[in-house]
Structure formats: structure tokens, C-alpha cells
Amino acid sequence: MDARASRLNSLRESIAQLEGQQLQMELELEEIRSKLQQDPLTTVNRHIRLLHEYNEIKDTAQGLMGLIADARGMRQVEVEREFGVKEGD
């Protein structure tokens, strides 16, 4: 067998091996997709909507604590501590 035929056989083996790996990865991907509860885009959109709701609620809560702080003549951070709001919240 000459060098060219040997190289061709080697390439064919590599292609067969890569095709096997591709098939395995496609099967794994299909298994993962089957475990998803929803379409990924639906999940992402839901998370974005929930983040917007969270931010609106957080802004409202901070505004109310600011009003309480003004009414009491205190700093807002003191009111937040009183209500158990930590710095990272």
C-alpha cells in the first residue's frame, strides 16, 4: 500500500470516528432537549419578565422606605436595617 492510500484510509477512519462522535452528541442533545420543560426562548422571556417585576417591586419598596425615613427624620439605610434589608439585597 502506498503512502497516498495509507493516508486516505487514515482520513476515512477519522471521518468515521467523527461521524460516530457527531451521532453521539446529537443523541445527547436530543436527550437534554427532551428534559427541558419549555422552549429555551420561552424560559428566557419568562426570566426577563420576572426580573422586570422584581425590579419594579424593589423600586417601590425602596421608595416606601424612603418615605418612612423622611417621616421619621432618619436615613433610609437605618429604616432598611430596621426592616431586615441587608446591603446586598
Q: Look at residue 70 in the predicted model and tell me its pLDDT.
A: 94
Q: How far apart are CA 63 and CA 55, in angstroms?
A: 12
pLDDT at residue 15 in the model: 95
Whether pTM > 0.85 for this model: the answer is no
Q: Give the per-residue pLDDT at 1.
A: 65
pLDDT at residue 72, rounded to an integer: 95
Instruction: Please answer whether residues 79 and 68 qualify as being in contact, where contact means their C-beta atoms are separated by less than 8 angstroms.
Output: yes
**Residue 63 neighbours by CB under 8 Å, 6+ apart:** none
* Residue 78 CB contacts under 8 Å (≥ 6 apart), including other chains: 69
Q: What's residue 16's pLDDT?
A: 95
Other C-beta atoms closer than 10 Å to the C-beta of 79 total 20
The pLDDT of residue 73: 95
Q: What is the mean pLDDT of each run of 10 residues along the chain (89 residues)?
A: 87 95 96 84 93 96 94 94 85
Domain ranges of the chain: 1-35, 38-89
